[in-house]
A and B are shown apart, each in its own frame.
Chain A
Amino acid sequence: MPRTEKAIDAAALSGIDRVIHEPARLAIVSVLRAFETADFLFLLKQTGLSRGNLSSHLSKLEAAGYVDITKEFVEKIPRTLIRLTGAGREAIASYRAEMDRVLGRL
């Protein structure tokens, strides 16, 4: 492969959002994309992650502004609700477009 073509591919890959590209976070965002809101247990069951792992990844997504985390009580039982923000929805849409573009070149 010519040197210039390799450089183009590397440049394209550098545009990939690393916050979403991580498999566990991609799974979380993919699940959240299907709903208005979901609770911690639902994400736990759907992604198959451990509680600690899920918490850690949610914190990273929250720090990036991709998810909004709120706590509420339902019949005196605490529930953690997670919602994909507008920025999160935009990020996953552009991530998908970017991945399609990059993989389409291969």
Chain B
Amino acid sequence: MEQTSKVDHVEMSAMQATIRDGVTEMQMGALLVSFGVVFSLAPPFGIACALLPFALHPLGKLLKRRFVYPRIGYAKGARQPHAVRGIVIAAFAYVAVLLSALGVFSLILGVDRGVSLWLSHFIPALVGVMMAIGPWVVARTYRLMRWYLFAGLFVLGGICLPLFNVATGTAAVALEVAVVGGLVLVYGIGLFLSFLRGYSSEESARASD
């Protein structure tokens, strides 16, 4: 048993090594900050941010090719045994929470008022939970605490902003996405710089194949 758990440990450690460079965090952070800023300044153009991944993906690949692969090597097609199962479980849990909350509010306040109040005050929380699914799946797949933290920040932001009257409705959504995205971006830049420091150019030149 111990032997097979060591095999799992080596496998997981190799998988974690591929996202230890902070590039994924930088991509995600940049996307969220852009979305949050554009959505708060000019909401109709927020949808244009859907095109951003197409610009950020080649940029991420360039960073990997230039700085990451020469230092730690290249690995492609990480197996994601928990990803699909995780998404399905998260989606079911999310729908269950939504329906339960909707049901409770409708019961307490009556159908019309309950639904409208629930939507206007809880949109940030709904978006927060929705945004948390991606990081949660990454955290579960790679067993990385920082991605659980990102997921938690989304949920917390969605609940706290309207709760403390910082912002409500779409303004709260934009603020939440921009703030959490900014934190993820800063964390990613820090991680990337520490990764670059951790592998000297001399070492990478010697180790290059």
Judged by a CB distance under 8 angstroms, whether B207 is at the interface is yes
Contact residue among A46, A79, A96, A99 (Cβ-Cβ distance under 8 Å from B13): A46
Q: Which positions 51-106 of chain A face chain B at CB distance < 8 Å?
A: 74, 77-80, 92, 96, 99-100, 103-104
Please tell me if the beta carbons of B208 and A31 are within 8 angstroms of each other in the complex: no
Please tell me if the beta carbons of A39 and B75 are within 8 angstroms of each other in the complex: yes
Interface secondary structure of A, over-half rule: helix
Extra A-B contacts (19), CB below 8 Å, given A96-B7, A99-B3, A100-B1 = A31-B10, A31-B11, A35-B75, A35-B76, A35-B77, A36-B76, A37-B75, A38-B74, A38-B76, A39-B74, A40-B73, A41-B73, A41-B207, A42-B73, A46-B10, A80-B209, A100-B4, A103-B2, A103-B3
Within the complex, the shortest CB–CB distance from A96 to chain B, in Å, comes to: 5
Judged by a CB distance under 8 angstroms, whether B14 is at the interface is yes
CB-defined contacts of B17 to chain A, threshold 8 Å:
42, 45-46
CB-defined contacts of B6 to chain A, threshold 8 Å:
30
Judged by a CB distance under 8 angstroms, whether B78 is at the interface is yes
CA distance A60 to B14 in the complex (A): 22
CB-defined contacts of A103 to chain B, threshold 8 Å:
1-3
Q: Which positions 129-167 of chain B face chain A at CB distance < 8 Å?
A: none
CB-defined contacts of A99 to chain B, threshold 8 Å:
3-4
Question: Assuming A35-B77, A45-B72, is B15 touching A40 (CB within 8 A)?
Answer: no
Interface secondary structure of B, over-half rule: helix
CA distance A44 to B3 in the complex (A): 21
CB-defined contacts of A96 to chain B, threshold 8 Å:
4, 7
Within the complex, the shortest CB–CB distance from A84 to chain B, in Å, comes to: 11
Interface size class of B (residues with CB under 8 A): 20 to 34
CB-defined contacts of A49 to chain B, threshold 8 Å:
none
Q: Which positions 27-57 of chain B face chain A at CB distance < 8 Å?
A: none
CA distance A97 to B161 in the complex (A): 51
Please tell me if the beta carbons of A30 and B11 are within 8 angstroms of each other in the complex: yes
Please tell me if the beta carbons of A41 and B209 are within 8 angstroms of each other in the complex: yes
Contact residue among B1, B4, B14, B78 (Cβ-Cβ distance under 8 Å from A46): B14
CB-defined contacts of B13 to chain A, threshold 8 Å:
46
Judged by a CB distance under 8 angstroms, whether A34 is at the interface is yes
